[in-house]
Chain A
Amino acid sequence: MESVVEHLLPRLKEITGFIYPNEIELHWSILVVVYPYITGLVAGAFILASLVKVFKVKEVQPTYRLSLLTALAFLLVAPLPLLAHLGHPEKSFEIFLTPNKQSAMAMFGFVYAWYLMAVLLLEIWFDYRRDIILWAQEETGPRKWLHKVLSLFSSDISERAVRFDRKAVQAVTIIGIPSAFLLHGYVGFIFGSVKANPWWSSVLMPIVFLFSAIVSGIALVLLIYMIATPMRSKQIDMDCLDKLAGFLFYAMIVDFSLETLDFIHRIYESEESIEILSELVSGKLFVSLVVIQLLIGMIVPLVAIALVKLFRTPAELRRLLYFVSALLVQVGIFSTRWNVVIGGQLFSKSLRGLTAYKMSIVGVEGLLVSIAILVLPFLILLALFKILPPWKEARHEFGPPTGSG
């Protein structure tokens, strides 16, 4: 009992107004912040990749495979924060064995599996197949076998087969776009459908989530491209970078408009929750919402990219501004997820008081685990770069194949 009191006493000082006794501890911690952040990156990176294939944007071709691998690396990590948060990860497969159609959360397993198996892996496989076969022919030892297994021992690289691959990629991408919308829209749906929570319950939630996902995905691929290219002693393709920044800019405009619409709608509607929510926004969420999410994560990058677009700027300065903007966008989008997940639990259901969130450093729900989960996709991405290099020079140009085929 004493330990419980000791644990709660410092929190009591942070509480304002009246809250119910079971609201002093937040149930959804930083891990649940990390989860929508990561799935957003997956959906965003995939949608960027589909720009090349479906909308034929030639300039961003250098980032096509990079975006696919980024989406894969982050998708593999996406369920980890949930598994760590819920506990008993060894039981997680049971949602596939006995599907519960009444539960949106349980159905996520299928959305995730569909997206991983039927969209992302399939598109990567069709796109890389010819290269994997050719790599396997040139290599020796374990790498040869790894690539042979990855190609599923397929060997047909005739022009007809490659043409089929290209068509398949096209088809998978077309299925993939609604699937990516479904993957992240679903995350917004989970929050938007909590009707007892006025901060979450909004039909706009899935759409706002989706566009912030596109923003974060484009910014992430831009960052990875800008870091990986000089590290490989290669020149950054400025046309590609300008186009990426352009897409980032337009996605941010749409995202900004949607969030503003949501904001105006809430104020105009002025439901009974408006007073506690305005207290929340002007108090406990002021720094993370107004300063970080809105100012640093949205307005500063928007102005920076707009200035670059308006005025003739040297490539060096453009690169610097794009890099800083994309970095700020990441901070801003992470803050967006924080404000949704943590912010939605900070006010009492009585609408008469605010509680506080104290993040722990160690422990499964703590900061260190979250950082580890956020670093892990980059390690997976490094491994993927080794196995499936997305770079132009690793690609076998079309022409007479080197092997017998």
Chain B
Amino acid sequence: MDVFELLKRIRLFWSRIPEQVQRLSLLAVFFIVLFIPVRNLLVPKDFGKYGHYRPSALEEAAAQEITYAGHEACYECHDDVVDTKYHGYHKTVACETCHGPAAAHTEDPDVELPAPRERGYCPLCHEYLASRPTGFPQIVSASHNPLKPCIACHNPHDPVPPHTPAECEACHAAIARTKAVSHHVYVPCVRCHETPEEHKVSPRQHRPSKPATREFCAACHAEGATTELETRKVDLATHGERYTCWQCHYPHLPGSR
């Protein structure tokens, strides 16, 4: 088929299309034809090479000035401090968390790094907050040796309490506060948790026990137990017989649902 024949056929086909569709399709073709060069012009050439972004953005990000040095750089000169910290509770806290970005200091030791000495700094992590995990040391700074800088008692590179905590509350702040408003307020922690003395020094290695049987709670709460009249008593034979007590009752706040 020659070109003229083809053109003729196209013209015939075109003339059979309703007039309004002709106009709309011309408009559509116009927009599509306009869209293609505009898209080619505006989309960066290498877009999508690695993912849904512009690869040269990686180079731009890499070209930014580096301000943090990383803790390995600290080790080269301050190996004694880094070693101390490595064996202490702050081993997962990077040096630059407290001392700030250190890249400039590693280039030129005369550039001094800040060392926070004021009281407000440590409570950023250690102020009591109900959402912090239990076991994480927390204080109420208003009542915890007011006005005394933290570093007067605690070595930030090896933070241990100056004396072994007498109360569980020092680390288990949220539980202690919950228990303080519950019916169990006068039940000491150690009545339910057998706690080896070493737990206070290395808490993860020596964990306290937890009551595992119904009979444990029954010692106070079974009918016929010799506890005070106010202590709630239940018939163990009929009361939630298939469950352990703490599956329904939170022992640190037994009244809660």
Instruction: List chain A positions with a Cβ less than 8 A from chain B.
Output: 18, 20, 94, 97-98, 100, 102, 122, 125-126, 129, 152-156, 160-161, 164-165, 168, 350, 352
Contacts and interface: CB of A to CB of B under 8 A. Distances in A.
Contacts of B48: 98
6 contacts: A97-B42, A129-B20, A154-B19, A161-B19, A165-B20, A350-B131
Contact of B20 (A94, A98, A154): A154
A154 B52 contact: no
A156 B19 contact: yes
Contact of A18 (B18, B47, B130): B130
A18 B27 CA distance: 58
Give the most central of B20, B26, B131: most A CB within 10 Å. Answer: B20
Given A18-B130, A152-B24, A350-B131, A98 B43 contact: yes
Interface residues of B, number: 16
Contact of A152 (B23, B39, B52, B131): B23
A154 B21 CA distance: 10
B86 to A, nearest CB: 31
Interface in B20-56: 20-21, 23-24, 26-27, 39, 42-43, 47-48, 52
A103 B131 CA distance: 32
Contacts of B130: 18, 352
Nearest to A129: B20
A97 B52 CA distance: 12
Contacts of A94: 42
A279 to B, nearest CB: 14
Nearest to A348: B131
Q: Interface on chain B toward A: helix, strand, loop, or mixed SS?
A: helix
Contacts of B26: 152
B195 to A, nearest CB: 28
Contact of B18 (A98, A152, A164): A164
Interface string B44-76: 000110001000000000000000000000000
Nearest to B129: A18
Contact of A126 (B20, B42, B43): B20
A102 B52 contact: yes
Contacts of B20: 126, 129, 152, 154, 156, 161, 164-165, 168
Contacts of B43: 97-98
Contact of B52 (A100, A126, A129): A100
Contacts of B24: 122, 125, 152
B35 to A, nearest CB: 8
A388 to B, nearest CB: 16
A150 to B, nearest CB: 11
Given A98-B48, A100-B52, A20 B19 contact: no
B131 A98 contact: no
Nearest to B26: A152
A97 B35 CA distance: 9
Nearest to B130: A18
A154 B47 contact: no
Give the most central of A20, A94, A154: most B CB within 10 Å. Answer: A154
Nearest to A102: B52
Contacts of A164: 18, 20-21
Give the most central of B19, B23, B39, B47: most A CB within 10 Å. Answer: B19
